């Protein structure tokens, strides 16, 4: 009976799917991230046919080799796969899959939760109320910004970015511009989005910038001090992709010096650490990498990861093979 190792507790829906397919499932018995040594310890007898891994597991050459000859697939329980050494996996012949599509609405909703919260000063207002500072309605108290009629700049028009653009247009009547390495004429027509030739152009023209690119060498620090300066002084930056895409120290400087008006981020450069300078600021919202953390999305991710494993072990091409 094929054996699967799951690196941390995930929703039952995925585990049940693996059991239904007739697989034996073993799970990290403690609900915490395994260190590389611990992960290698579990894998070292080479008894697993597949591993279901998380974005917090570093799947490098040692771990891929450590999984042994039998292991055909690492199914990453995430949209992102920057935690996996793809080149090494290819060399060894281990398939890597991710869980795209099923979380797009959820992450787009969280992106708007952040965008609305920073523009309408929701977190700041909540802190204000709890601190006992609310002494009566005032015409000029905690004034924020409308989304409607503003320009939303989307950098990276994949599954998630295009959902964000769609909600921006259809939900909040925003003007949408976008940058992507691939232009999407059909999408432009569908929602009246305008293509920018460069990310810089999006930064210069947008009132709200939302980042939806994968983390790669070419996107690390895509948002740095120079690019933050290109943004409008009253613009907001939102990031639900990966932390290292933004130079976090530069962002803290820009927010402190009012180079931009605000930011709302769900991901951090050195997770789980958060730049201490950001924590001191009122004009930033910090959520702990929860953009896909709804019951619905996490169930779907678990099922999709299981489906990828089942396909691979049945000798089929997994639906979400990363190449
Ligand atoms: C979450 O960050 C994911 O990549 O799914
Ligand atoms: C605000 O509370 C209003 O009634 O305008």
DSSP conformation letters of 134-161: --S--TTTT-----TTSEEEEE--SHHH
| 18/187 Cα distance (integer angstroms) | 36
Sign of CA dihedral 206, 208, 214, 215: positive
Q: Is residue 318 part of a domain?
A: no
Q: Is the CB of 78 under 6 A from ligand 1?
A: yes
Query: How many CB atoms are located within 10 Å of the residue 169 CB?
Result: 17
Tell me: do 33 and 87 sit in the same domain.
yes
| 284/264 Cα distance (integer angstroms) | 5
Overall domain count for the chain: 2
Sign of CA dihedral 102, 105, 108, 109: negative
Q: Is residue 200 part of a domain?
A: yes
Query: What residues have CB less than 8 Å from 54, skipping those under 6 apart?
Result: 7, 8, 10, 33, 76, 77, 78
pLDDT of residue 187: 97
Tell me: do 159 and 212 sit in the same domain.
yes
Tell me: do 131 and 97 sit in the same domain.
no
Report the DSSP pairing between strands 3-6 and 284-286. Answer: unpaired
pLDDT of residue 281: 98
* Residues acting as catalytic residues: 242, 271, 289
Tell me: do 37 and 175 sit in the same domain.
no
What SS3 state is found at 149?
coil
- Which residue's CA is the nearest one to ligand 1's atom 1? 78
Ligand 1 binding pocket mutation candidate from 83, 101, 103, 267 (most atoms within 8 A of CB): 103
Tell me: do 76 and 135 sit in the same domain.
no
pLDDT of residue 225: 98
Q: Report DSSP state, residue 317.
A: P
Q: Is residue 17 part of a domain?
A: yes
Q: Is residue 319 part of a domain?
A: no
| 14/323 Cα distance (integer angstroms) | 23
Tell me: do 57 and 110 sit in the same domain.
no
Tell me: do 136 and 86 sit in the same domain.
no
pLDDT of residue 45: 84
Q: Is the CB of 54 under 6 A from ligand 1?
A: no
Q: Is the CB of 305 under 6 A from ligand 1?
A: no
Tell me: do 113 and 136 sit in the same domain.
yes
Q: Is the CB of 101 under 6 A from ligand 1?
A: no
Tell me: do 87 and 207 sit in the same domain.
no
The structure's pTM equals 0.95
Let me know: does 19 contact 41? Beta carbons within 8 Å.
no
Please name the residue that has the structure tokens 């939900």.
171
Q: What is the CATH number of the domain that holds 46?
A: 3.40.50.720
Ligand 1 atom closest to the Cα of residue 301 is: 5
Q: Is residue 48 part of a domain?
A: yes
Q: Is residue 75 part of a domain?
A: yes
Tell me: do 123 and 144 sit in the same domain.
yes
CA distances to 16, 164, 248, 321 from 241, in Å: 29, 12, 14, 20
Ligand 1 binding pocket mutation candidate from 8, 10, 55 (most atoms within 8 A of CB): 55
Let me know: does 240 contact 111? Beta carbons within 8 Å.
yes
Per-residue pLDDT of the chain (323 residues; tens, 9 = 90+): 999 999 999 999 999 999 999 999 999 999 999 999 999 999 988 899 999 999 999 999 999 999 999 999 999 999 999 999 999 999 999 999 999 999 999 999 999 999 999 999 999 999 999 999 999 999 999 999 999 999 999 999 999 999 999 999 999 999 999 999 999 999 999 999 999 999 999 999 999 999 999 999 999 999 999 999 999 999 999 999 999 999 999 999 999 999 999 999 999 999 999 999 999 999 999 999 999 999 999 999 999 999 999 999 999 999 999 99
Tell me: do 68 and 205 sit in the same domain.
no
Tell me: do 20 and 157 sit in the same domain.
no
Q: Is residue 132 part of a domain?
A: yes
Q: Give the ligand at the shortest distance from the Cα of 110.
A: 1
Residue 203 is part of which domain span? 104-286
Q: Is residue 32 part of a domain?
A: yes
């Amino acid at each position: 009976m094929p054996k699967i190792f799951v690196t941390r507790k995930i929703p039952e829906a995925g585990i049940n799917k693996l059991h239904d397919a007739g697989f034996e499932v073993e799970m990290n018995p403690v609900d915490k991230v395994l260190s590389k040594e611990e992960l290698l310890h579990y894998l070292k007898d080479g008894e697993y046919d597949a591993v279901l891994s998380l974005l917090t597991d570093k799947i490098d050459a040692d771990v891929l080799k450590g999984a042994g000859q039998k292991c055909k697939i690492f199914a990453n329980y995430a949209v992102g796969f920057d935690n996996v050494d793809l080149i090494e996996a290819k060399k060894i012949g281990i398939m890597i899959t991710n869980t795209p599509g099923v979380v797009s609405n959820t992450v787009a909703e969280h992106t708007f939760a952040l965008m609305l919260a920073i523009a309408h000063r929701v977190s700041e207002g909540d802190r204000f109320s709890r601190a006992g500072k609310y002494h009566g309605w005032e015409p000029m108290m905690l004034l924020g910004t409308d989304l409607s009629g503003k320009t939303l700049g989307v950098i990276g028009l994949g599954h998630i970015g295009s959902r964000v653009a769609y909600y921006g247009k259809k939900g909040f009547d925003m003007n949408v511009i976008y940058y992507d390495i691939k232009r999407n004429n059909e999408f432009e027509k569908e929602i009246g989005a305008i293509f920018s030739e460069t990310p810089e152009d999006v930064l210069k023209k947008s009132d709200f910038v939302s980042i939806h690119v994968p983390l790669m060498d070419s996107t690390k620090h895509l948002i740095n001090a120079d690019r933050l300066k290109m943004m409008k002084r009253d613009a907001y930056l939102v990031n639900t992709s990966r932390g290292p895409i933004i130079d976090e120290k530069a962002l803290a400087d820009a927010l402190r010096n009012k180079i931009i008006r605000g930011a709302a981020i769900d991901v951090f450069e050195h997770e789980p650490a958060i730049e201490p300078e950001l924590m001191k600021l009122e004009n930033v919202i910090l959520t702990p990498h929860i953009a896909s953390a709804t019951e619905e999305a996490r169930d779907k991710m678990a099922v999709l990861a299981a489906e990828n494993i089942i396909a691979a072990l049945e000798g089929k091409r997994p639906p979400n093979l990363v190449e």
